[in-house]
Structure formats: C-alpha cells, structure tokens
Amino acid sequence: MNGVAKLYDRLDETERTSALLAAFVRGDDREQDRLNATAPQRIERRWHHLGRVQAVWNVAATARIEQFTTLANLWHAQARLAWATGKAEADGAADDSVPAAAREVRLWRAFVDVCCWKLSQHQAAWSIVCERLGIAPEFLNEFGDCIALKLTEARLADNLPTAETVRQELAEFGELAGELATAESIATGWLDLFAKLEG
C-alpha cells in the first residue's frame, strides 16, 4: 500500500473528487474502486420518486440537446445548399465546373434531408418516450421553448423526405443507410438512458 493510499479515509470531498476524476481519466478502475470504498457515506432521506424524476429530467435534457444540435446542422446545411446552388448557377456556363458544382448541390441537399429526417424522428421518438414513461410531452419545453425549432418542426410535414430518398442520397456519397435513425431507435436510446439513470 503506498503512502497516499494510507490516507484515503482522510480525504475531504474536494480532494477525493479530484483524485477520483483523475483516476477516471487515466482509466484506473482499481483506484476509483479504492477511493469509493474508503469514502465516508451519508444516509439520505429522499422522496421515493426522486430518482425517476431526475432520470426523466436528464433524458429530456438529452433529447432537447440532440434536437438543437440537429437544428443547427440543418441551418448550416441550408446555408451551404443556398451557397452551392448560387455558385452552380453562376458557373453554369463553365462546362468543367458543372459536374462538381452539381455534386456539391446534391451533397448539401442530402445533408438538409438527413437533418429534416432526424428532426422528424426526434419528434416521434419523444412521443414514444412520453407514452412509455407516462409524462406530458410539454415537459420538453422546460429545456428551451425555442420558436425556431417549433417553426422548423411545423414545416417538416411539407418538406420531409422519405426514408428511401434519404437512403439513396446517402448511398450516392458512400454512406451506409442501413443504420438510418428511426423514431423507435432514438426512443430506445433515450429509454435505455432512463433505465440506467433510474436504476
């Protein structure tokens, strides 16, 4: 036993947290176990539903972050699509640049379609999670009631590509589409997270 290990039971919260996180970064599971095993324990009284509420809270935060990330990717792709379309139109007379410009337009159109598909699947996945966990869908608004997201989601029905279209677009650029995100697969991921956090 080294000198520091003899002092494990004397570490305060700050020292123990720093040592534990350093062991985590190093991938030192044994050190983490020793630090946890020697830590003083507290007995807490808490509501019986607190773990479930915290798990739902974290799943909703994760869902909203994923939605915002996809929305930001969509805006980026739309801007790049507009730029590529304008460039392709401007270069239309130059024969050498037309194939490359047309390919870039198709690339950014595919990116827009993938983002639209994923946002639509997020909507449906959140509904699945709410139904299975018995929570109100509006709870998600606690993590940012974003007007831009609402407007984008409202327009998805009119602009949503089919799964087959997205698969074909991905295939054109060498991407495997067998793993195309679905509402069920996204919901399963969120529900697995819930189970881990609640348990």
Determine the distance from the C-alpha atom of residue 83 to the mean position of all C-alpha atoms in its chain, rounded to a whole number: 27
Domain ranges, ordered by start, for the chain: 5-37, 50-198
- Joined tokens for residue 117: 């598909």
Q: Please spell the DSSP secondary structure of 9-40, one letter per residue.
A: GG--HHHHHHHHHHHHHHT-HHHHHHHHHTS-
Confidence of residue 92 (pLDDT cuts 50, 70, 90): low
Q: Could you give the CA distance from residue 180 to residue 174 in angstroms, rounded to a whole number?
A: 14
Contact 84, 105 (CB under 8 A): yes
When pLDDT is cut at 50, 70 and 90, the band that residue 4 belongs to is low
Query: How far from 119 is each of 2, 52, 66, 177, 187, CA to CA, in Å?
Result: 53, 26, 9, 17, 13
Give per-residue pLDDT as tens, 124-156.
Answer: 999 999 999 999 998 888 877 778 888 888 888
How far, CA to CA in Å, does 183 sit from each of 118, 119, 127?
8, 10, 9
Kindly report, residue by residue over 12-24, the tens digit of the pLDDT: 888 888 888 899 8
> Is it the case that residue 31 has pLDDT exceeding 60?
yes
* CB-based contacts of 142, cutoff 8 Å, min separation 6: 60
